[in-house]
Structure 1
Amino acid sequence: MSKQILKAEVASLGGLQLKCSARGFEFLIDEPENVGGSNEAMNPLEALLCSLGACKMMVVRFFYQAKHINLKSMRVEILGEIDSDRLKGKPDVKVGFSKIITNYYIEADNSEEEIAELVAFVERTCPVKDTIVNAPEMELHINP
């Protein structure tokens, strides 16, 4: 088994705005104005949904030809259901998403069965989905 460590860093830019960095690339995270942000970027939960959708799209892009899919176009819509009452202090309410829904929109010269097989493959092999469904061991270090 060959293990690899991926590294990401998040730094505060003031207010609720954050700079996320990995491998020399950056993007911003923010919150909507109604919760104290400046609404200049997506929030962390939206970024998670985007990461999940992007990962599913990448799996398709890597494997559609090997699966003999004549792909013309594709997009993935990810919906996350969350109860915002928990963030408002209501006890006994799940903090994170209670449901995540993926809607695939695939245009291809293939049968419905072939497209369904491709989607099933994506759902089995998407690393971000696997990370969400089968939570990794979490370790915490507090550094000076």
Structure 2
Amino acid sequence: MNKKQITAVVELDQSRYKTKIFADGHFIYADEPEDLGGTNEGMAPGGLLLASLGSCTAITVRMYADRKQIPLTGITIHLAICAEEEMGSGTTIERKIELHGDLDEEQRKRLMIIADKCPIHKILSNPIKIISN
């Protein structure tokens, strides 16, 4: 298992909310929609969080299916996060996973169990401590 620490560098200059994100040699933008004062030139931070969970889930399921030679032809994941006003007692993320391919019921059940083993799911399902220096 890879023990490399995940790191990112985020920079925000005078560009309102358009934020530069550098991680592991890759570059993307985050932003806010125009109605919140942003330029809408990147995903909103909440969208990035859902994208992280969705892509990690899909990759984890695909890796397992490939390793076990399960005839999975595709995965579609729909995600939604509760409104910020509802986060006082916790945050709820809804995740609907659609598995495509000629799968029997046992394979579907196993892949759904594997979906919960993705690293981002584990991170989000446990208490998180953020230390700011």
TM-score band, normalised by the shorter chain?
0.7 to 0.9
Q: What's the offset of the Cα at 1:2?
A: 7.9
SS of the residue 2:66 aligns to: coil
Number of the residue aligned with 1:133:
125
The answer to whether 1:24 aligns with 2:25 is yes
Q: How does 1:1-144 map to 2 (within 5 A)?
A: 3-13=3-13, 14-83=15-84, 86=85, 94=87, 98-123=91-116, 125-141=117-133
Distance (whole Å) between structure 2 residues aligned to residue 44 and residue 16 of structure 1? 11
The percentage of aligned residue pairs carrying the same residue is: 27
Count, aligned residues: 132
Question: Residue in 2 aligned with 1:90?
Answer: none
- When residues 24 and 97 of structure 1 are mapped into structure 2, their CA distance, relative to the original with a 3 A threshold, is farther
Give the root-mean-square deviation of aligned CA atoms. Answer: 2.2
Q: Is the 8 A contact 2:64 2:114 kept in 1?
A: no
Q: Which segments of 5 or more consecutive residues in structure 1 lack a partner in the other structure?
A: 87-92
1:18-69 per-residue CA deviation (whole Å, 9 max, x = no partner) reads: 0000122100000011111111111000100000000001101211023331
Q: Which runs of 5+ in 2 are unaligned?
A: none
* Matches of 2:89 and 2:33, distance apart in 1: 17
